[in-house]
Amino acid sequence: METILFKTISGLFYLIGLISRNTAVKIADFLGGVWFVVDKRHRDVALENLTHVFGSEKSAVEIRKLARRIFRNLILIIFEIGWLLRLKEKEFSKYFHVNGLHYLKNAHKKGKGVLVLTGHMGNWELMSMAAAMLGYPMSAIYRPMDFKPLDLFFINLRGRYGTTLYPKKNAMRPILRGLKKGELIGILLDQNTNVQSGVFVDFFNRKACTNKGLALIALGTDTPVVPLFLLREEDGYRVEIGPEVPVIRTGDKEKDIITSTRQYNRVIEDVICRYPDQWFWVHRRWKTQIPSSQQV
């Protein structure tokens, strides 16, 4: 049964990929508007998050319009995955524009692998494909989906471009092995986590529990950390690669983890501010609160 469902899902995405970009945008605009209206839970989360970040500079009407575009853009991801299935390697440069490739090249030359700092911006599902097309296949940490046929579809999709997937549970050892082999390891750092896995650092002037794994690995291995985001533009997509984020070492490990993680959050904040409708605002980023025992 799982095989049948997997093939059905694959077929549906292939058919979706036949729809032109202009038509897809119109469909996504309509479906995104419907989703925005009927899904009160995610709409309220998005509006609350947007108001916190942009409430001092945008009106309630502007924030609501921005939220609708966010829902539209999330729908677009489905169409873009369909297009990805049909994209030929020779067409890559036609649709994908690359900024800052030298940052990635210079970091990779150090021979320690590269930790790719990224987040749920634009279409993150296209990111590993873009990296592979540039000659740098990317490995990534992932959480298996509950619906197995869909999980299998995405595993196969990412595997088409040489992406190695490390299940989130017990991922540290294979990550370290991968870095020793010179791999790029993609880490999405913009999601809420639990107190055991994270540290509380500012994210848009509000304490957010942020996974400390990236800082731990960077400090422990001296692996370069390079930001990489795949952003949607009018004429295609932009692979934006930023300068290496320096490793902070003061001799105080706990302090260095917090300082480094705050640096990473600043990088993500900057991209969000430039492309506010392309982040995953429907996520409860500030859900985990500082325990009373840690409050000053």
Structure tokens at 9: 């899902």
pLDDT digits (tens, 9 = 90+) for 57-74: 999 999 999 999 999 999
Q: Note if the pTM is more than 0.85.
A: yes
pLDDT at 3 over 90: no
Expressed as residue numbers, the domain containing 42 is 1-86
Do 25 and 121 reside in the same domain of the chain? no
pLDDT at 270: 98
Do 2 and 107 reside in the same domain of the chain? no
Rounded CA Rg of the chain? 19
Helices (H), 17-39: 21-38
- Residue 123 near residue 95 (C-beta atoms within 8 A): no
Do 269 and 122 reside in the same domain of the chain? yes
Q: Is residue 101 part of a domain?
A: yes
pLDDT at 265 over 90: yes
Do 131 and 69 reside in the same domain of the chain? no
Burial level of 229, CB count in 10 A (0-12/13-18/19+)? buried
Q: Is residue 293 part of a domain?
A: no
Which residue do the tokens 């990805």 mark? Answer: 84
- Residue 240 near residue 231 (C-beta atoms within 8 A): yes
pLDDT at 296: 57
Q: Is residue 37 part of a domain?
A: yes
pLDDT at 148 over 80: yes
pLDDT at 157 over 90: no
Residue by residue, DSSP assigns 225-256 as EEEEEEEEETTEEEEEEPPPBPPP-SS-HHHH
Percent over 70 (pLDDT), the chain: 99
* pLDDT bracket for residue 227 (50, 70, 90): very high
Do 78 and 99 reside in the same domain of the chain? no
How many structural domains are present in the chain?
2
pLDDT at 218 over 70: yes
Do 82 and 220 reside in the same domain of the chain? no
